[in-house]
């Protein structure tokens, strides 16, 4: 079994509360973090502890939430990908802060080879794009926008061909559902 620790972060000349307010928009109609050209994050209710959601084939539940500071999602699917991912703001001083996305998981066999070959390249690009969107929201521009490698473009094309409703992202068929308990 392998363990995954994957971190993407960017420092901003911005007040921590301004950066943190971006986290609060996740999954909303005014989402300022999630890139529009990826399967959207959807939740079955406004962002709060216990709310179920996901993006593409990934499903999770909000396990921790401190508005304007931090949100953690416990991964519930696909089967074999246990762990969490989170967005958090680190205050450096009154005018500087870091926005960080962290993924911690232990993919089980036979899925662990899929992490480095398929999921990681896509994951890295989408979360770098999230940081680009944060930079744009805070500064009005992006100094060094993320670029899609040829490999990522191929993965996206394969995904669009094999799972078109996930690749489109806007399909209503990707609504989050969870068992009633």
Instruction: Please write the tens of the pLDDT for every residue from 68-78.
Output: 999 999 999 98
pTM: 0.88
d(CA 71, CA 43) in angstroms, rounded, equals: 13
Output the pLDDT for position 62.
98
Query: Partners of 38 in the beta sheet?
Result: none
Contact 51, 45 (CB under 8 A): yes
Output the pLDDT for position 154.
96
Per-residue CA distances from 95 to 15, 91, 135 (Å)? 4, 8, 14
Has residue 169 got a pLDDT over 80? no
- Angle, CA of 100, 160 and 171, to the nearest 5°: 75
Has residue 146 got a pLDDT over 70? yes
How much of the chain, in percent, has pLDDT values that exceed 90?
A: 73
> How do residues 28-68 score in pLDDT, each as one tens digit?
999 999 999 899 999 999 999 999 999 988 999 999 999 99
Question: Could you tell me which residue, 171 or 82, shows the higher pLDDT?
Answer: 82
Check residue 117 and report its DSSP letter: I
Q: Given the structure tokens 């870091």, which residue do they identify?
A: 98
Has residue 13 got a pLDDT over 70? yes
Has residue 180 got a pLDDT over 50? no
Q: Given the structure tokens 């539940």, which residue do they identify?
A: 61
Contact 128, 146 (CB under 8 A): yes
> How do residues 89-107 score in pLDDT, each as one tens digit?
999 999 999 999 999 999 8
Average pLDDT, the chain: 89
């Amino acid at each position: 079994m392998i363990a995954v620790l994957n971190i993407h972060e960017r420092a901003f000349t911005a007040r921590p509360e301004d950066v943190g307010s971006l986290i609060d928009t996740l999954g909303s109609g005014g989402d300022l973090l999630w890139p529009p050209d990826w399967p959207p994050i959807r939740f079955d209710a406004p962002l709060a502890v216990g709310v179920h959601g996901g993006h593409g084939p990934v499903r999770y539940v909000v396990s921790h939430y401190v508005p304007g500071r931090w949100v953690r999602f416990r991964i519930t699917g696909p089967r074999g990908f246990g762990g969490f991912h989170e967005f958090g703001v680190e205050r450096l001083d009154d005018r500087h802060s870091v926005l960080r996305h962290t993924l911690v998981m232990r993919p089980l066999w036979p899925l662990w080879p899929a992490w480095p070959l398929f999921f990681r390249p896509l994951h890295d690009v989408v979360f770098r794009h999230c940081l680009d969107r944060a930079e744009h929201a805070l500064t009005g521009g992006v100094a060094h926008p993320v670029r899609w490698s040829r490999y990522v473009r191929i993965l996206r094309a394969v995904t669009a061909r094999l799972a078109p409703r996930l690749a489109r992202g806007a399909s209503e068929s990707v609504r989050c559902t969870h068992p009633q308990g």
